[in-house]
């Protein structure tokens, strides 16, 4: 395998139809897809286990990681077998008013690709800057010591490209290059969705797909280090 196509996609709980989301993923050709705002048994989406539905439709392996509650969170679709996966809850963070903010988590999965085992982290960070910094430090602590294994980190970070919390993350990860606006659809004006790789000075380019199946454009990249 010379190249691997990866996608991160906030699907807005399939509000415009899971069939449309499935089409976007299928025609993208992505082999690994991290998803945010995925429902699993939520009343608003007719109690459908969305990632399981998409996995059957696309003939992929999958994992789901609840965040705010057991019906809503992050998910992974992949063409490769999942050796193991786990949902890791971030420590609760309190606002200046002393109130706990929305619960957040990240999904970690170990995949068996034809070339090697690789790790994938999928997350959806909060709207509070200090909270994002706090939770990025938790991700960095989790991946510390795992440098021998390729790890892709992706998701909706709710932060602009030059935010200090992303610069903190870039001390250990390389960020996909490209001037790509991912939110809001249809006339995206900012980038808040990203793909990172735990290799310093590793250059790879990201681009969006002009798809209107969610309020975010999907972001995709090709990694060319799988020989």
Q: What is the DSSP string of the chain?
A: ---EEEEEEE-GGGTT-HHHHHHHHHHHT-SEEEEEEEEBS-GGGTT-BHHHHHHHHHT-EEEEEEEEETTEEEEEEESS-EEEEEEEEPPP-B-TTS-B----EEEEEEEE-SS-EEEEEEEE--S-HHHHHHHHHHHHHHHTT-TTS-EEEEEE--S-TT-HHHHHHTTT-EEPBS----BSSSS--B--EEEEESSTT---BEEE----SSSS--EEEEE----
pLDDT of residue 202: 86
Calculate the average pLDDT of the chain.
93
Structure confidence by residue, pLDDT tens digits, 55-69: 999 999 999 999 988
Percent of the chain with pLDDT over 70: 97
Structure confidence by residue, pLDDT tens digits, 8-42: 999 999 999 999 999 999 999 999 999 999 999 99
Q: Give yes or no for residue 225 having a pLDDT over 70.
A: no
pLDDT of residue 179: 81
pTM of structure: 0.95
Domain ranges, ordered by start, for the chain = 4-223
Structure confidence by residue, pLDDT tens digits, 86-109: 999 999 888 776 677 889 999 999
Structure confidence by residue, pLDDT tens digits, 75-86: 999 999 999 999
pLDDT of residue 194: 98
Structure confidence by residue, pLDDT tens digits, 159-175: 999 999 999 999 899 99
CATH of 4-223, one of 3.40.50.300, 3.40.800.20, 3.30.67.10, 3.60.10.10: 3.60.10.10
């Amino acid at each position: 395998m010379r190249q691997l196509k990866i996608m991160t996609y906030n699907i807005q709980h399939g509000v415009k139809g899971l069939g449309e989301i499935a089409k976007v993923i299928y025609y993208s050709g992505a082999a690994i897809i991290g998803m945010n705002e995925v429902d699993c048994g939520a009343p608003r989406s007719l109690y459908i286990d969305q990632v399981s539905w998409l996995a059957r439709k696309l003939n992929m392996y999958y994992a789901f990681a609840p965040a705010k509650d057991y019906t809503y969170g992050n998910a992974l679709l992949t063409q490769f077998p999942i050796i193991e996966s786990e949902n890791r809850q971030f420590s609760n963070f309190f606002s200046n008013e002393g109130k706990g903010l929305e619960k957040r988590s990240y999904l970690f999965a170990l995949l068996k690709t034809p070339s090697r085992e690789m790790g994938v982290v999928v997350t959806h960070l909060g709207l509070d800057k200090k909270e994002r910094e706090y939770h990025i430090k938790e991700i960095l602590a989790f991946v510390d010591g795992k440098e021998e294994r390729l790890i892709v980190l992706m998701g909706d970070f709710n932060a602009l490209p030059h935010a200090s919390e992303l610069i903190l993350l870039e001390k250990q990860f390389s960020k996909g290059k490209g001037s790509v606006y991912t939110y809001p659809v249809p006339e995206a004006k900012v980038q808040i969705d990203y793909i990172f790789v735990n290799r310093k000075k590793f250059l790879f380019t990201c681009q969006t797909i002009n798809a209107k199946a969610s309020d975010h454009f999907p972001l995709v990249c090709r990694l060319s280090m799988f020989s």
